[in-house]
Amino acid sequence: MNSVETNFGTIHSSHALMASNFVSLPVMNQLGTLPQFLIIGAQKCGTSWLHAGLREHPQVFMPEDKDNEIDFCKAEELAILQQRLAQQNTGQKAGDACAAWFWTRRGNDPITGQYRNIVDDIADVLGTDIKLILLVRNPVHRSISGYLHHIRHRTLDPNVGILASDPALGIVTLSRYGYHLQNWLQRFSAENMLILPAPAEADTGAIFHAVLQFLQLNQTSQTMATDRHVLPGLAKVHQHDGIWVRLDDACMQDVSWRQSVPIKLIDHVLHARLISREEIDMLTASLAEDTHWFLEQIRQHGWWHDAYAVWNQASHRH
């Protein structure tokens, strides 16, 4: 087994298992081309940015779209995976990406309508030697970004507070990184996983370089994808009393407010406070134990980065 040292810790690589050990022969025959790596999330942590960057690498094939929540335990869904990878060229490494795959053991799953563990689905169908890439950011910031994302896309009413949002949206539950990571490590070796800080929290070039090392791809000089926002979220202003958003944004113009919402001018534009300081403090407290657990796992498996050291301080600054 080989390993390389980077500023993101020790990244291990193992020789690929023989196909018969990777997945069962019937599944291999059904799929044809299998992905060699997956970007499993997390939502609002830069998966679209990484997907766009890897698509520009000549040694990589990834479908143009992402976030296709394939139900790996259904034959008809496996056929979709085969179609998504059918245009792979000889010598390219095939991968796919879905920001929700990191979200494990979901009861009342919004996609399948049933209890589901995506970890077992992927391990049983694609084998446990597949490489998995995870980007994470401060879990409180991720929840806030997820909340505003759903408001921007009109899948959540701004009258519903962040802590009262439907658990099926994963606004808070997906930020419980420690819980989800433990579930992944029950089936997959840490040597086949790479966990990195989100591009919003670390040098994008270094993140991209570490991913290429992990996937054993040639380093390239292209930088066009490493410093751009692929899917910018709802613009927000952090102030001491909470999170404020512009009322002239399209998703805010036709809101029928059912409660008193603080409104004020910021830079000559009307803003509404959608998340209070009290809600941020409650969210931080609710995630604190799990975040500590996650960081312990990060240290244990050599994925530590200085970006994680400021998570608690950053949460209390906003």
Q: What's the confidence (pLDDT) of residue 110?
A: 54
pLDDT at residue 6 greater than cutoff 70: no
Cross-strand pairs, 164: none
pLDDT tens by residue, 139-183 = 999 999 999 999 999 999 999 999 999 888 899 999 999 999 999
Average pLDDT over residues 2-24: 37
Q: What's the confidence (pLDDT) of residue 113?
A: 53
Closest CA to 67 of 111, 107, 15, 106: 111
* Structural domain contains residue 14: no
pLDDT at residue 2 greater than cutoff 80: no
Average pLDDT over residues 237-256: 93
pLDDT tens by residue, 15-44 = 332 233 333 434 444 445 778 999 999 999
Q: How far is CA 235 from each of CA 115, 144, 148, 212, 281, rounded to the nearest angstrom?
A: 34, 12, 9, 31, 21
* Structural domain contains residue 3: no
Closest CA to 11 of 104, 184, 132, 99: 132
pLDDT tens by residue, 53-76 = 999 999 999 988 887 776 665 666
pLDDT at residue 1 greater than cutoff 50: no
Percentage of the chain modeled with pLDDT above 70: 78
Host H or E run for residue 114: none
Residues 6+ apart with CB under 8 A from 286: 163, 172
Which amino acid, residue 66?
A: K
d(CA 270, CA 247): 6
d(CA 146, CA 233): 9
Three-class SS of residue 248? coil
Which amino acid, residue 274?
A: L
* Structural domain contains residue 12: no
* Structural domain contains residue 200: yes
Residue 223: half-sphere exposure toward Cβ, Cα within 13 Å: 6
d(CA 139, CA 311): 8
pLDDT tens by residue, 198-214 = 998 999 999 999 999 99
* Structural domain contains residue 54: yes
* Structural domain contains residue 79: yes
CA dihedral 142, 116, 182, 198 (to 10 degrees): -30
The CATH number assigned to the domain holding 180 equals 3.40.50.300
The domain total for the chain is 1
Host H or E run for residue 126: helix 118-126
Range of the structural domain that residue 137 is part of: 21-317
* Structural domain contains residue 8: no
Q: Bigger pLDDT: 260 or 191?
A: 191
pLDDT tens by residue, 88-129 = 777 889 999 999 899 987 665 555 555 668 898 888 888 899
Q: What's the confidence (pLDDT) of residue 32?
A: 55
Q: What's the confidence (pLDDT) of residue 77?
A: 66
The token pair at 226 is 């490493």
Closest CA to 50 of 97, 9, 117: 97
d(CA 198, CA 200): 5
pLDDT at residue 269 greater than cutoff 60: yes
pLDDT at residue 231 greater than cutoff 70: no
Q: What is the mean pLDDT of the chain?
A: 82
* Structural domain contains residue 16: no
Angle between helices 47-55 and 204-214 (to 10 degrees): 60
Q: What's the confidence (pLDDT) of residue 4?
A: 38
Whether the CB-CB separation of 8 and 217 falls below 8 Å is answered with no
d(CA 104, CA 119): 7
Instruction: Enumerate helices (H) and strands (E) in the chain, giving the number of each.
Output: 10, 11
